[in-house]
Amino acid sequence: MNARSLIIDNADAQIQYSPSWEANGSPNEYKHTTSNTAIKGESFTFKFVGTSVAVYGTLVAGTPPNSTYTLDGGDPFPSLTQRSTSIQYQQVFYSSPALPLMEHTLVGTCENENEGVQVILDYFVIETPLDFTTNTSSTPSICDSKPAPPTTIIVSSVLRGFTLLATIFASYLWYRGRNPKLMDIHNMHPKQNPTSFNGTVVSYQYEKLLK
Protein backbone atom coordinates (compact mmCIF):
# COMPACT_ATOMS: atom_id res chain seq x y z
CA MET A 1 0.00 0.00 0.00
CA ASN A 2 1.36 3.44 -0.95
CA ALA A 3 1.83 5.70 2.06
CA ARG A 4 3.03 9.17 2.96
CA SER A 5 4.59 10.66 6.08
CA LEU A 6 3.08 13.74 7.71
CA ILE A 7 4.82 16.04 10.20
CA ILE A 8 2.66 17.24 13.10
CA ASP A 9 4.17 20.13 15.05
CA ASN A 10 4.37 19.89 18.83
CA ALA A 11 2.15 23.00 19.08
CA ASP A 12 -0.76 21.41 17.17
CA ALA A 13 -4.02 21.46 19.15
CA GLN A 14 -4.36 17.74 18.45
CA ILE A 15 -1.72 17.18 21.16
CA GLN A 16 -2.88 17.68 24.75
CA TYR A 17 -0.34 18.52 27.48
CA SER A 18 -0.55 18.40 31.26
CA PRO A 19 -0.16 21.81 32.99
CA SER A 20 3.60 21.98 33.60
CA TRP A 21 4.76 21.81 29.96
CA GLU A 22 6.33 25.03 28.68
CA ALA A 23 6.45 26.43 25.15
CA ASN A 24 9.93 27.07 23.82
CA GLY A 25 11.93 26.71 20.61
CA SER A 26 14.81 27.92 18.45
CA PRO A 27 15.55 28.48 14.72
CA ASN A 28 17.08 24.99 14.53
CA GLU A 29 13.84 23.28 15.53
CA TYR A 30 10.79 22.51 13.39
CA LYS A 31 8.65 25.65 13.05
CA HIS A 32 10.92 27.12 15.76
CA THR A 33 8.76 25.57 18.52
CA THR A 34 9.17 22.91 21.23
CA SER A 35 7.28 21.74 24.31
CA ASN A 36 9.48 21.25 27.37
CA THR A 37 9.18 19.77 30.86
CA ALA A 38 11.55 18.45 33.50
CA ILE A 39 8.92 17.43 36.04
CA LYS A 40 8.35 13.74 36.67
CA GLY A 41 4.84 12.57 35.89
CA GLU A 42 4.04 15.30 33.36
CA SER A 43 2.61 13.84 30.14
CA PHE A 44 1.14 14.52 26.71
CA THR A 45 -1.60 12.70 24.80
CA PHE A 46 -1.61 12.49 21.01
CA LYS A 47 -4.59 10.96 19.23
CA PHE A 48 -4.09 10.22 15.55
CA VAL A 49 -5.22 7.98 12.70
CA GLY A 50 -2.38 6.30 10.86
CA THR A 51 -0.24 3.22 10.42
CA SER A 52 2.78 4.35 12.47
CA VAL A 53 3.99 7.22 14.66
CA ALA A 54 7.37 8.60 15.68
CA VAL A 55 8.33 11.29 18.19
CA TYR A 56 11.24 13.67 17.56
CA GLY A 57 12.89 16.08 19.96
CA THR A 58 16.03 17.93 21.00
CA LEU A 59 18.81 16.54 23.19
CA VAL A 60 21.07 18.81 25.21
CA ALA A 61 24.58 17.87 26.22
CA GLY A 62 24.89 15.54 29.20
CA THR A 63 22.41 13.14 30.75
CA PRO A 64 19.56 12.26 28.36
CA PRO A 65 15.96 12.85 29.47
CA ASN A 66 14.05 9.88 30.85
CA SER A 67 10.63 9.45 29.23
CA THR A 68 8.28 6.59 28.36
CA TYR A 69 5.70 6.13 25.59
CA THR A 70 2.50 4.11 25.87
CA LEU A 71 0.53 3.24 22.73
CA ASP A 72 -3.16 2.30 22.96
CA GLY A 73 -2.93 1.45 26.65
CA GLY A 74 -0.10 -1.08 26.22
CA ASP A 75 3.14 -1.39 28.13
CA PRO A 76 5.29 1.77 28.44
CA PHE A 77 8.24 1.87 26.08
CA PRO A 78 11.43 3.70 27.21
CA SER A 79 12.85 6.57 25.21
CA LEU A 80 15.44 5.82 22.51
CA THR A 81 17.60 8.80 23.50
CA GLN A 82 21.25 8.40 24.49
CA ARG A 83 23.81 10.58 26.21
CA SER A 84 25.19 13.36 24.00
CA THR A 85 28.27 15.57 24.25
CA SER A 86 26.60 18.46 22.39
CA ILE A 87 23.11 19.65 21.55
CA GLN A 88 21.39 17.45 18.95
CA TYR A 89 18.27 18.39 16.99
CA GLN A 90 15.60 16.18 15.35
CA GLN A 91 16.45 13.09 17.39
CA VAL A 92 14.11 10.06 17.57
CA PHE A 93 12.55 9.67 21.03
CA TYR A 94 10.09 6.96 20.08
CA SER A 95 9.10 4.98 16.97
CA SER A 96 6.13 2.62 16.85
CA PRO A 97 5.83 -0.68 14.99
CA ALA A 98 3.44 -0.98 12.02
CA LEU A 99 -0.14 -0.29 13.09
CA PRO A 100 -3.60 -0.98 11.63
CA LEU A 101 -5.25 2.04 9.99
CA MET A 102 -7.48 3.28 12.81
CA GLU A 103 -7.42 5.83 15.62
CA HIS A 104 -4.57 5.38 18.08
CA THR A 105 -3.61 7.11 21.32
CA LEU A 106 0.01 7.80 22.26
CA VAL A 107 0.82 8.96 25.79
CA GLY A 108 4.31 10.25 26.58
CA THR A 109 5.39 10.69 30.20
CA CYS A 110 8.40 12.43 31.75
CA GLU A 111 10.14 10.02 34.13
CA ASN A 112 13.02 12.25 35.16
CA GLU A 113 14.42 11.82 38.65
CA ASN A 114 16.60 14.88 38.07
CA GLU A 115 14.40 17.90 37.38
CA GLY A 116 17.32 19.69 35.71
CA VAL A 117 17.05 17.40 32.65
CA GLN A 118 14.30 18.48 30.26
CA VAL A 119 12.22 16.45 27.85
CA ILE A 120 12.12 18.65 24.72
CA LEU A 121 9.52 17.60 22.15
CA ASP A 122 9.76 19.03 18.64
CA TYR A 123 7.36 17.21 16.29
CA PHE A 124 5.59 13.95 15.46
CA VAL A 125 5.63 11.98 12.20
CA ILE A 126 2.66 9.78 11.33
CA GLU A 127 2.32 7.54 8.29
CA THR A 128 -0.98 7.34 6.43
CA PRO A 129 -2.27 6.08 3.06
CA LEU A 130 -1.84 8.55 0.20
CA ASP A 131 -5.58 9.21 -0.14
CA PHE A 132 -6.20 9.67 3.61
CA THR A 133 -7.04 13.11 5.07
CA THR A 134 -5.94 13.94 8.62
CA ASN A 135 -7.70 16.24 11.07
CA THR A 136 -5.22 18.75 12.49
CA SER A 137 -5.47 22.38 13.58
CA SER A 138 -2.76 23.31 11.06
CA THR A 139 -1.77 22.01 7.66
CA PRO A 140 0.72 19.15 8.20
CA SER A 141 3.88 18.97 6.12
CA ILE A 142 4.49 16.03 3.81
CA CYS A 143 7.97 14.59 4.20
CA ASP A 144 10.12 11.69 3.02
CA SER A 145 11.99 11.37 6.31
CA LYS A 146 12.89 14.45 8.32
CA PRO A 147 12.55 18.22 7.95
CA ALA A 148 15.38 20.10 6.26
CA PRO A 149 18.68 20.27 8.13
CA PRO A 150 19.32 23.22 10.40
CA THR A 151 20.62 26.45 8.89
CA THR A 152 23.93 26.04 10.72
CA ILE A 153 24.63 22.83 8.79
CA ILE A 154 23.86 24.49 5.43
CA VAL A 155 26.10 27.49 6.22
CA SER A 156 28.91 25.14 7.27
CA SER A 157 28.69 23.27 3.93
CA VAL A 158 28.87 26.56 1.96
CA LEU A 159 31.93 27.69 3.92
CA ARG A 160 33.67 24.36 3.25
CA GLY A 161 33.03 24.89 -0.48
CA PHE A 162 34.60 28.36 -0.41
CA THR A 163 37.60 27.03 1.51
CA LEU A 164 38.15 24.32 -1.12
CA LEU A 165 38.05 26.86 -3.98
CA ALA A 166 40.51 29.13 -2.16
CA THR A 167 42.91 26.21 -1.63
CA ILE A 168 42.79 25.26 -5.34
CA PHE A 169 43.45 28.87 -6.40
CA ALA A 170 46.37 29.21 -3.96
CA SER A 171 47.89 25.96 -5.29
CA TYR A 172 47.66 27.30 -8.85
CA LEU A 173 49.47 30.53 -7.92
CA TRP A 174 52.22 28.56 -6.14
CA TYR A 175 52.69 26.25 -9.14
CA ARG A 176 52.86 29.21 -11.52
CA GLY A 177 55.49 30.89 -9.36
CA ARG A 178 57.61 27.72 -9.39
CA ASN A 179 57.54 27.54 -13.23
CA PRO A 180 58.98 30.68 -14.91
CA LYS A 181 58.16 29.25 -18.36
CA LEU A 182 54.50 29.97 -17.67
CA MET A 183 54.54 33.52 -19.06
CA ASP A 184 51.65 35.77 -19.56
CA ILE A 185 50.34 35.51 -23.10
CA HIS A 186 50.49 39.28 -23.45
CA ASN A 187 54.27 39.21 -22.88
CA MET A 188 54.78 36.40 -25.42
CA HIS A 189 52.84 38.17 -28.19
CA PRO A 190 53.16 41.94 -27.83
CA LYS A 191 50.62 43.90 -29.78
CA GLN A 192 51.63 46.37 -32.50
CA ASN A 193 51.05 50.00 -31.77
CA PRO A 194 47.99 50.94 -33.83
CA THR A 195 49.02 54.59 -33.88
CA SER A 196 52.48 53.87 -35.36
CA PHE A 197 51.08 51.48 -37.94
CA ASN A 198 48.42 53.91 -39.12
CA GLY A 199 50.96 56.71 -39.25
CA THR A 200 53.19 54.67 -41.60
CA VAL A 201 50.33 53.99 -44.01
CA VAL A 202 49.26 57.65 -44.12
CA SER A 203 52.86 58.84 -44.69
CA TYR A 204 53.35 56.36 -47.57
CA GLN A 205 50.13 57.44 -49.32
CA TYR A 206 51.03 61.17 -48.94
CA GLU A 207 54.47 60.71 -50.51
CA LYS A 208 52.90 58.77 -53.40
CA LEU A 209 50.56 61.69 -54.15
CA LEU A 210 53.45 64.18 -54.21
CA LYS A 211 55.12 62.14 -56.93
Residue 132 has, within 13 A of its CA and on its CB side, a CA count of: 21
Q: What is the pLDDT along the chain (211 residues), one digit of tens a residue?
A: 588 999 999 999 999 999 999 999 999 999 999 999 999 999 999 999 999 999 999 999 998 999 999 999 999 999 999 999 999 999 999 999 999 999 999 999 999 887 679 999 999 999 999 877 766 555 566 664 455 555 444 444 545 665 666 666 666 676 666 665 554 544 554 444 444 444 444 444 445 444 4
**The pLDDT value given to residue 155:** 44
Report how far residue 154's alpha carbon sits from residue 175's, in angstroms, rounded to the nearest whole number.
32
Report how far residue 199's alpha carbon sits from residue 197's, in angstroms, rounded to the nearest whole number.
5
**The pLDDT value given to residue 203:** 46
For 132, the enclosing helix (H) or strand (E) is none
Report field, pTM of the whole predicted structure over 0.85: no
Report how far residue 89's alpha carbon sits from residue 96's, in angstroms, rounded to the nearest whole number.
20
Contacts of 13 by beta carbon, 8 Å cutoff, 6+ apart: 136, 137
Q: Which is it for the CA torsion 77, 49, 123, 131, positive or negative? A: positive
Domains and CATH numbers, the chain: 3-147 (2.60.120.260), 154-210 (no CATH)
Residue of 72, 78, 106 lying closest to 92 (CA atoms)? 78
**The pLDDT value given to residue 20:** 94
Report how far residue 4's alpha carbon sits from residue 22's, in angstroms, rounded to the nearest whole number.
30
SS3 letters for 23-50? Answer: EECCCCCHHHCEEEECCCCCEEEEEEEE
Residue type, 126: I
Q: Which is it for the CA torsion 167, 168, 171, 177, positive or negative? A: negative
